[in-house]
């Protein structure tokens, strides 16, 4: 983080140096007047008010410019001092350029600086003024035309006195901790009619953009990046006759539209990224013939990309990513022969890449990730010899990989993942691209053949190899000589047998991600219990046939997945040192023994703990601590015993808790009733007993939706009151298309792009009805199920059941209890409103009277009611005396597909974002601000649809 902040400031810095040329030149042949004595002493006083502190400046070429300001030697002419400029006729000090001078200390209103009243330009950027306020005496410097205080640790409100500096033409107050509240921005600038450059980036303004900016007709550059601006952006600003640079990026509250550009304009850069501007990109943008840069990343624009963009032949940077543009990429782009950066990723673009792209010989970076682009990769690409990044993942590309790609000798990163090619490709062809260090071919339809004979020692050092589902049948030998890999994905190939010995030496210091999942590995071979990769963040071994004891990846590991193997033995105590774990999935193995007492060591980071389907025994440790981030815990299908740990009540983030199929012997955990997010509580098939007290107002289970108590020995009345008290907003916000899931995402280093590995863990569960086991690999947010069957509940089914907040009810099972009375009419009200109740079961009770009539009721087969000798109804052999005529034969309830197909689970997603490293090369001068880093990334694309049932 520190280094990216540094880089970011540095990027900014380059812009600053290129914008200002205030270096004093003294190349005149006539004798200049000596400096004025009083001004000399002001300068010396100013110098003495600071200490020289190397940490005060970040520009690598910084040096203490005031060091030459001294009376020693023959040096009393202050006009000869470094970076002091005097008027050539009257000798007054008119310019000071002390940027990056290691100055550290405060400035207050009595500073001698403000006595230098002849100053016209003052540059103090990149020093550290210790959070000083800008003194109001700045108004003494009434002749100032250029003022640069950028990045110099000023704070608080910008004083009203600025409004008196009416000569001001260039004002840069960016990258401080300043704010503009009262007076407002409009007030401050209304009389600064000569302003040409205004940069207030990072000043906290928190207001609308005043219309008055549209009156500052001299403006050539306006930068208001990351100022927390909101409201509608004034159209008038686009019309400013001299404006060349408009930068309002990172103002997420800013709304508005682009105007119809029916005028000519000198606009060169239009930077609206990360705002909320919306609407169409007007075709008239083609009139802005001077444009070199358009950055509209992460806005709300939609519609088609106008083909008139092809008229902007000076364009070298075009970023329309993260919008909802649709249609095709205009073939007129073939005219953009200056274009070096093109990003259209994360839109809804269709159709093939136009073959006119072959014209774009300056193209260096291409991002088309996550669209619906189809067809073949155009074969004319070989003329794009500058191409360094070609990011085409998550599209519908088909056909062969054109051989022209193998001529792109400057290619560093190629990502074709998640496409539909039908291609056999030799790895050797990629190897010939000597600069290629990141190759992602995961799940794109490519069968990769890797020859055994190539000379591994001369291969380039790869950073990323994404070879998921590439039809590999063994570990590629060349990996043995790779020591700079950070990302190695060999998942879902046909690799059989033992992991080779040399594998434990691959990139020991660098590997952050290893995915060997979905292969046929039987053994990890000889390996230390603690695996050797010191920076490993993700280890995924799931769905192999691995035997032996459980390895412990690096202590730094965040996601550890070994589900669906044959590991045996206890969990090694060493696991207690993995203090950053977010996901621990040991499910579906043959692990045994009791759990280590150290579970609380994960307390601060662990989100998911899945121990399902092993042979663990003993009590669950009491270690759960408050502050826990745990969201899902699955203990089901083990041999746990005893009481549930009461301390689980402290895990207030819990969404899902499954204790089913164990030997817990306890009363109902009413004490979990305060967990605000608990949606799923499954206690099925244990030895729980006793009545369930629902009357305590304190414990309400406000979010509970999936509640399975079946196969226990609960007594007393049905615990339906939990749902009566429940939060009325319970299901309002639930999205029908989302699943109960937890996401853990991790960034993996790459020198050019940020890759982020996002793991979406879908909650899996089993439900049993009428002896049929349904295995849900994921569960919709809306899914609601109540299973109280096979207990000893007594009493009536309460009439209020019809009024419960049970939208989304899919299963209601009250069978095999000792319930008496009638099936309440209220229940009919509840059920008949529902279109998707999948099962209803009250069999084997002591219910009496008629089965309510209604559409939904008629869809339930007789075995939903059988075993109640007192019940009568159409579907039963015992008919009621006055029963209504039955409705036509039942329609099959629309069930299943959208409950989550059993074939989908464990989605993983790769996010990318281009980071600062790239931006340095491409957009020198762009202000990048660290706290907005996250906005460079947005979710897109799902990475894997895994195959196979457990
Ligand atoms: C140097 O500057 C840093 C801030 O950049 C400050 O924390 C530190 O105290 C200063 N050191 C001295 C000796 O003034
Ligand atoms: C701007 O100038 C006008 C006219 O001279 C004056 O009335 C007004 O107060 C000035 N505004 C500010 C903020 O100084
Ligand atoms: C783009 O250029 C073409 C041909 O020069 C011209 O006909 C068209 O009007 C231009 N479009 C715009 C929007 O400038
Ligand atoms: C390629 O660029 C040239 C200008 O250099 C232009 O005349 C031509 O129309 C372009 N070709 C395509 C297919 O866009
Ligand atoms: C690619 O370059 C070659 C040689 O410079 C040229 O003959 C060919 O026309 C170019 N192809 C395209 C599609 O521009």
pLDDT tens-digit map of 298-340: 999 999 999 999 999 999 999 999 999 999 999 999 999 999 9
Query: How far out from the chain centre does Cα 873 lie?
Result: 55
The Cα 146–Cα 552 span in angstroms is 61
* pLDDT at site 945: 21
Choose which residue among 335, 353, 383, 384 to substitute to test ligand 4 binding: the one with the highest number of ligand atoms within 8 A of its C-beta. 335
Among all bound ligands, the one having the nearest atom to the CA of 187 is 2
**104, 105, 126, 128, best to mutate for ligand 1 pocket (most atoms within 8 Å of CB):** 104
In this structure, the residues whose C-beta lies within 6 A of any atom of ligand 5 are 358-359, 380, 383
DSSP 78: G
The pLDDT of residue 891 is 30
Percentage of the chain beyond pLDDT 70 is: 84
State the residue range of the domain holding 809. 655-736+785-912
pLDDT mean across residues, the chain: 83
- Given a cut of 50, is residue 925 above it in pLDDT? no
At residue 929 the predicted structure's pLDDT band, cuts being 50, 70 and 90, is: very low
Residue of the CA atom closest to atom 3 of ligand 1: 55
Average pLDDT over residues 861-876: 83
Domain boundary, last residue among 116, 141, 166? 141
- For the segment 739-779, what is each residue's pLDDT rounded down to a tens digit? 777 777 777 766 666 667 667 777 778 777 777 777 777 77
Asked if 391 and 416 count as a contact pair (C-beta separation under 8 A), the reply is no
329 in any annotated domain: no
Span 560-572, pLDDT tens digits? 999 999 999 999 9
The CA 769 to ligand 5 mean position distance, Å, reads 68
- pLDDT on residue 515: 93
Report if residue 79 sits inside a domain. yes
Would residue 155 count as lying in a domain? no
∠144-147-149 over CA atoms, to 5°?
Answer: 150
Supply φ then ψ for residue 29, to 5 degrees: -90, -20
**Domain end marker among 90, 122, 141:** 141
Contacts of 413 by beta carbon, 8 Å cutoff, 6+ apart: 388, 389, 390, 391, 436, 437, 438, 439, 440, 464, 750, 752, 753
Which residue among 53, 105, 152 has the greatest number of ligand 1 atoms within 8 angstroms of its CB, and so is best to mutate? 53
The finding on whether 163 has its CB within 6 A of some atom of ligand 2 is: yes
Task: Looking at the CA of 152, name the nearest ligand.
Answer: 1
**Mean per-residue pLDDT for 243-269?**
94
Q: pLDDT at position 823, please?
A: 85
Of the listed ranges 361-370, 529-538, 900-909, the one predicted with least confidence: 900-909
**CA 312 to ligand 4 center in whole angstroms:** 13
CA 580 to chain centre: 19
Most confident of 518-522, 784-788, 933-937: 518-522
pLDDT digits (tens, 9 = 90+) for 161-212: 999 999 999 999 999 999 999 889 999 999 999 999 999 999 999 999 999 9
For residues 213-230, average pLDDT: 95
Over residues 398-420, the pLDDT tens digits come to 999 999 999 999 999 999 999 99
pLDDT at 328: 96
User: What local confidence, expressed as pLDDT, does residue 741 receive?
Assistant: 75
Measuring from atom 4 of ligand 3, which residue has the nearest CA?
311
Secondary structure of residue 693 in the 3-state scheme: coil
Residue nearest to atom 1 of ligand 4 (CA): 359
Among 336, 356, 357, 361, name the best residue to mutate to test ligand 4's pocket (greatest count of ligand atoms within 8 A of Cβ).
Answer: 356
Q: Which of 270-284, 572-586, 781-795 has the highest mean pLDDT?
A: 270-284
Least confident residue range of 48-57, 536-545, 622-631, 732-741: 732-741
Residue 380 Cα: closest atom of ligand 5:
13
* Pocket probe mutation, ligand 3, options 286, 289, 314, max atoms within 8 Å of Cβ: 286
Residue 846, token pair as written in the block: 């002591």
**Closest ligand to residue 139's CA:** 2
Least confident of 568-572, 704-708, 719-723, 876-880: 876-880
- In this predicted structure, what is the pLDDT of residue 833? 55
41: CATH: 3.80.10.10
Q: Residue 273 in contact with residue 298, Cβ under 8 Å?
A: yes
- 380 assigned to some structural domain: no
pLDDT at res. 419? 94
pTM for the model stands at 0.82
On the question of pLDDT at 924 being above 60, the answer is no
Residue 380, pLDDT above cutoff 60: yes
Of ligand 4's listed atoms, the one at least distance from the Cα of 355 is: 13
Query: What separation in Å is there between the alpha carbon of 611 and the centre of ligand 1?
Result: 51
pLDDT at 749: 62
Domain boundary among 106, 141, 176: 141
H-run or E-run covering 922 = helix 916-922
- Proximal ligand: closest to the CA of 361: 5
**What pLDDT score was predicted for residue 625?**
78
pLDDT in tens, 799-848: 888 777 776 777 889 999 999 988 887 777 666 555 555 678 888 999 88
For the beta carbon of residue 288, count every other beta carbon within 10 angstroms.
23
Number of domains making up the chain: 2
Which ligand approaches the C-alpha of residue 262 most closely?
A: 3
For the segment 17-39, the average pLDDT, to the nearest whole number, is: 52
DSSP summary character for residue 802: G
Residue 139 CB less than 6 A away from ligand 2: no
Cβ 93 vs Cβ 118: under 8 Å: yes
Residue 8 placed within a domain: no
829 against 932, higher pLDDT: 829
pLDDT at 2 (0 to 100): 32
Q: If you count DSSP H runs as helices and E runs as strands, how many of each does the chain have, helices first?
A: 8, 65
C-beta 286 within 6 A of ligand 3: yes
What's the pLDDT tens digit per position in 112-171? 999 999 999 999 999 999 999 999 999 999 999 999 999 999 999 999 999 999 999 999
- 184 C-beta closer than 6 A to ligand 2: no
Residue 731 pLDDT: 53
Q: Which two tokens stand for residue 844?
A: 């084997």
Would 872 be classed as within a structural domain?
yes
Residue 258 belongs to some domain of the structure: no
Span 58-92, pLDDT tens digits: 888 999 999 989 988 778 899 999 999 999 889 99
pLDDT in tens, 338-353: 999 999 999 999 999 9
Q: Which residue has the higher pLDDT, 709 or 17?
A: 709
Q: Buried b vs exposed e over 411-427: b needs ≥16 C-beta within 10 Å?
A: bbbbbbbbbebebebeb
Using the mean position of ligand 5's atoms as its centre, give its distance from the Cα of residue 375 in Å. 22
b (16+ CB within 10 A) / e for 289-314:
eebbbbbbbbbebeeebbbbbbbbee
Q: Which one of the ligands is nearest to 380 CA?
A: 5
C-alpha distances (whole Å) from 704 to each of 13, 740, 820, 839 are: 54, 12, 26, 19
CB atoms within 10 A of CB 463: 24
Shortest-distance atom of ligand 4 to CA 332 = 14
For residue 378, the ligand closest to its alpha carbon is 5
Q: Is the pLDDT of residue 230 over 60?
A: yes
**Percent of the chain's residues with pLDDT above 90:** 62
Residue 260 CA to residue 244 CA, distance in Å, equals 17
- Digit-coded pLDDT (tens) for 578-599: 888 999 999 999 999 999 888 7
Examine residue 396 and state whether it is found in any structural domain, yes or no: no
Write the residue with the smallest CA distance to atom 14 of ligand 2.
163
Closest ligand 4 atom to residue 359 Cα is 1
- The whole-number pLDDT of residue 33 equals 61
Mutation probe of ligand 2 site: the residue of 163, 184, 191 with most atoms within 8 A of C-beta: 191
Give the pLDDT score at 874: 73
Q: What pLDDT sits at residue 341?
A: 94
pLDDT of residue 830: 67
Name the 3-class secondary structure at 482: coil
């Amino acid at each position: 983080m520190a280094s990216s902040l540094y880089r970011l400031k540095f990027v900014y810095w380059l812009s600053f140096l290129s914008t200002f040329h205030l270096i004093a030149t003294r190349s005149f042949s006539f004798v200049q007047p000596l400096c004025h004595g009083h001004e000399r002493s002001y300068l010396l006083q100013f110098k003495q008010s600071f200490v020289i502190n190397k940490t005060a400046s970040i520009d690598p070429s910084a040096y203490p410019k005031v060091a030459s300001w001294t009376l020693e030697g023959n040096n009393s002419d202050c006009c000869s001092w470094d970076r002091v400029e005097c008027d050539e006729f009257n000798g007054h000090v008119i310019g000071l350029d002390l940027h990056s001078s290691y100055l550290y200390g405060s400035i207050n209103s009595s500073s001698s600086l403000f006595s230098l009243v002849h100053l016209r330009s003052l540059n103090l950027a990149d020093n550290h003024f210790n959070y000083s306020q800008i003194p109001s005496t700045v108004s003494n410097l009434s002749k100032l035309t250029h003022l640069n205080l950028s990045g110099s640790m000023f704070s608080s409100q910008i004083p009203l006195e600025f409004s008196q500096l009416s000569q001001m033409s260039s004002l840069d107050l960016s990258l401080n901790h300043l704010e503009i509240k009262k007076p407002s921005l409009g007030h401050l600038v209304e009389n600064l009619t000569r302003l040409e450059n205004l940069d207030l980036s990072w000043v906290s303004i928190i207001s609308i953009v005043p219309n008055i900016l549209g009156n500052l007709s001299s403006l050539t550059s306006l930068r208001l990046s990351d100022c927390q601006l909101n409201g509608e952006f004034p159209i008038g600003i686009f019309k400013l006759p001299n404006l060349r640079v408009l930068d309002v990026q990172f103002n997420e509250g800013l709304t508005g539209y682009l105007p119809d550009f029916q005028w000519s304009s000198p606009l060169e850069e239009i930077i609206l990224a990360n705002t909320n501007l919306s609407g169409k990109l007007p075709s008239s943008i083609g009139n802005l013939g001077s444009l070199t840069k358009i950055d509209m990343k992460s806005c709300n624009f939609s519609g088609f990309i106008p083909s008139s963009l092809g008229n902007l032949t000076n364009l070298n940077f075009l970023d329309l990513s993260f919008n909802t543009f649709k249609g095709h990429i205009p073939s007129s782009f073939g005219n953009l022969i200056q274009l070096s950066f093109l990003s259209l990723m994360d839109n809804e673009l269709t159709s093939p890449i136009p073959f006119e792209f072959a014209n774009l010989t300056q193209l260096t970076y291409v991002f088309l990730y996550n669209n619906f682009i189809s067809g073949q990769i155009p074969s004319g690409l070989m003329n794009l010899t500058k191409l360094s990044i070609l990011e085409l993942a998550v599209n519908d590309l088909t056909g062969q990989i054109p051989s022209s790609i193998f001529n792109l000798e400057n290619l560093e990163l190629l990502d074709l993942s998640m496409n539909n090619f039908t291609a056999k490709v030799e790895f050797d062809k990629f190897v010939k691209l000597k600069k290629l260090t990141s190759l992602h071919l995961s799940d794109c339809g490519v069968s990769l053949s890797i020859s055994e004979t190539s000379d591994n020692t001369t291969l380039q050092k790869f950073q990323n190899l994404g070879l998921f589902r590439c039809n590999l049948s063994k570990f590629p030998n060349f990996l043995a000589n790779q020591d700079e890999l950070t990302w190695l994905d060999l998942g879902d190939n046909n690799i059989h047998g033992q992991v080779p010995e040399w594998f434990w030496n691959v990139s020991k210091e660098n590997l952050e991600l290893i995915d060997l999942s979905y292969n046929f590995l039987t053994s990890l071979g000889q390996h230390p219990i603690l695996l050797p990769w010191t920076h490993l963040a993700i280890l995924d071994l799931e769905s192999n046939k691995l035997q032996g004891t459980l390895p412990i990846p690096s202590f730094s590991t965040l996601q550890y997945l070994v589900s669906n193997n044959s590991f045996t033995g206890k969990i090694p105590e060493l696991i207690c040192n993995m203090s950053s774990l977010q996901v621990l999935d040991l499910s579906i193995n043959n692990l045994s023994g009791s759990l280590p007492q150290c579970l609380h060591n994960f307390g601060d980071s662990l989100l998911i703990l899945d121990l399902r389907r092993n042979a663990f025994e003993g009590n669950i440790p009491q270690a759960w601590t408050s502050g826990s981030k745990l969201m899902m815990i699955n203990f089901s299908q083990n041999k746990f015993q005893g009481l549930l740990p009461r301390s689980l009540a402290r895990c207030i983030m819990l969404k899902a808790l499954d204790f089913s199929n164990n030997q817990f012997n306890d009363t109902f955990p009413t004490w979990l009733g305060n967990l605000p997010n608990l949606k799923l509580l499954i206690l099925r098939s244990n030895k729980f007993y006793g009545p369930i007290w629902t009357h305590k107002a304190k414990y309400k289970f406000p979010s509970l939706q999936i509640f399975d108590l079946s196969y226990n020995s609960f007594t007393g009345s049905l615990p339906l009151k939990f749902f009566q008290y429940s939060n009325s907003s319970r299901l309002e916000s639930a999205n029908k298309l989302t699943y109960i899931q937890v996401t853990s995402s991790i960034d993996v280093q790459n020198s050019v792009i940020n890759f982020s590995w996002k793991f979406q863990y879908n909650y899996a569960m089993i439900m049993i009805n009428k002896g049929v086991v349904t295995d849900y690999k994921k569960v919709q947010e809306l899914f609601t199920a109540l299973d109280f069957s096979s207990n000893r509940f007594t009493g009536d089914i309460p009439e209020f059941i019809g009024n419960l907040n049970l939208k989304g009810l899919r299963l209601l099972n009250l069978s095999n209890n000792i319930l008496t009375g009638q099936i309440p009419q209220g229940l009919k009200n509840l059920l008949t409103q529902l279109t998707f109740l999948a099962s209803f079961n009250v069999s084997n009770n002591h219910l009496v009277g008629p089965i309510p009539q209604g559409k939904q009721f008629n869809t339930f087969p007789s075995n939903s009611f059988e075993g109640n000798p007192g019940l009568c109804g159409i579907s039963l052999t015992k008919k009621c005396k006055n029963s209504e005529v039955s409705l036509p034969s039942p329609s099959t309830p629309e069930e299943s597909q959208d409950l989550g197909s059993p074939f989908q689970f464990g989605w993983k997603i790769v996010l990318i974002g281009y980071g600062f490293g790239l931006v340095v090369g491409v957009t020198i001068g762009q202000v990048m601000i660290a706290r907005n880093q996250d906005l460079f990334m947005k979710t897109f694309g799902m990475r894997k649809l895994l195959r196979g049932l457990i």
